[in-house]
Amino acid sequence: MKKLLAKYPEISDERWVSFMNELNDVARRGGLAEYKSYSRVWEYPWLWFQLENSARSLRVLDIGSERSPYPWFLAEKGFDVTVSDVTSSYWGLWRNAQRALGVKPDLKILDTQALTLPPASFDVYQSVSILEHVPDKAKALEEAARVLRPGGLLLMSFDICEAEMGMTFPKWNGRAVSMAELDTLFANCAWFERGLSEVTWNIETIDEYWSWHRTTAEHHNYVTGAISVQRTDEPWVERPNENPRPDPTYQEIKLEMQWRFGEFSRQIKGQLPKPVHSLLKRVIRG
């Protein structure tokens, strides 16, 4: 069990820098996002250091993947990875990354508050700065517990905003938790090992990291935290009034077909009159 705030000196540590160089190489080869500044240069290395000695057979669910190279890095390392996001915006990017990198993680469109996945289907649930974008944070935590196997691992980084210290978080970006709220979320969730809320936050590192983080973007007037905590051994029991989760198969097939038809459309674009090609594009987009 681990809980901490980001430490600025670690960003320039040789181990952190070496990892980010390796991760950005995956990004370049896969047409994904490179990260050379702001919180990701601390978050990604820290998360990897919690997994690097784990069995490569682990099933890893990455929540809110967007353009991140990190789940693709894990796939190259041999983990059984599921890449996901709440919208289909990145489907084409992911399919191109599959082709460029030669790995084929599962691709899913998932709402972190209502995951269309069976209970106990993953060994690791990881999310990188997603919690602040989720309206119902307690529900998201409960869903993470549901899809994790007993004894599975929750890895999570998140934005921390302490208003009493003068920190601010832009409303257009969601709502960041405070340290006390994060502790309360886990204290109220019976599906993760007890005691996380009693672990002391390293508040002595706040000022140095906060000063640096503000230089990376005008709105970065907050800090970063992370946790590593295990799922309890209790099996999940569905509530009697639990709403059934929709079957995502149709949506995934539809996205796959749209992507394939889009690829075909681009290949024959020069061979068709413009009105015909425009009509084809409208059909593809549904």
> The tokens of 20 are what?
């980010």
Q: How far, in Å, CA of 35 to CA of 42, rounded?
A: 10
Q: Look at residue 23 and tell me whether its pLDDT is greater than 80.
A: yes
Output the average pLDDT for the chain. Answer: 90
Which pLDDT tens digit goes with each residue over 134-188?
Answer: 999 999 999 999 999 999 999 999 999 999 999 999 999 999 999 999 999 999 9
Q: How far, in Å, CA of 140 to CA of 129, rounded?
A: 13
Identity of the residue numbered 236: W
Q: Residue 11 contacts by C-beta under 8 Å, 6 or more apart in sequence?
A: 41, 42, 212
Confidence of residue 259 (pLDDT cuts 50, 70, 90): low
SS3 state of residue 158 = strand
Confidence of residue 276 (pLDDT cuts 50, 70, 90): low
Contact 155, 50 (CB under 8 A): yes
Q: How far, in Å, CA of 232 to CA of 194, rounded?
A: 9
Instruction: Please give the pLDDT value at position 229.
Output: 98
Residue 47 to residues 68, 125, 201, 278, Cα–Cα distance (Å): 13, 11, 18, 44
Q: How far, in Å, CA of 199 to CA of 270, rounded?
A: 62
Q: Look at residue 75 and tell me whether its pLDDT is greater than 80.
A: yes
Q: Look at residue 240 and tell me whether its pLDDT is greater than 90.
A: no
Average pLDDT (12-20) is: 98
Contact 5, 201 (CB under 8 A): yes
Identity of the residue numbered 185: L
Q: Distance from first CA to last CA of the chain, Å, rounded?
A: 47
Q: Look at residue 262 and tell me whether its pLDDT is greater than 70.
A: no
User: Worst-scoring range by mean pLDDT, 7-11, 110-114, 231-235, 266-270?
Assistant: 266-270
> The tokens of 57 are what?
């057979």
Q: Look at residue 218 and tell me whether its pLDDT is greater than 70.
A: yes
Average pLDDT (8-13) is: 98
SS3 state of residue 99 = helix
Instruction: Please give the pLDDT value at position 238.
Output: 76
Q: What is the pTM of this model?
A: 0.86
Beta bridge partners of 223: 160
Which of 138, 13, 22 lies closest to 72 in space, CA to CA? 22
> The tokens of 112 are what?
């972190």
Q: Residue 286 contacts by C-beta under 8 Å, 6 or more apart in sequence?
A: 254, 258
Average pLDDT (205-230) is: 97
Confidence of residue 268 (pLDDT cuts 50, 70, 90): low
Query: Residue 80: in which H helix or E strand, if any?
Result: strand 80-85
Which pLDDT tens digit goes with each residue over 125-146?
Answer: 999 999 999 999 999 999 999 9
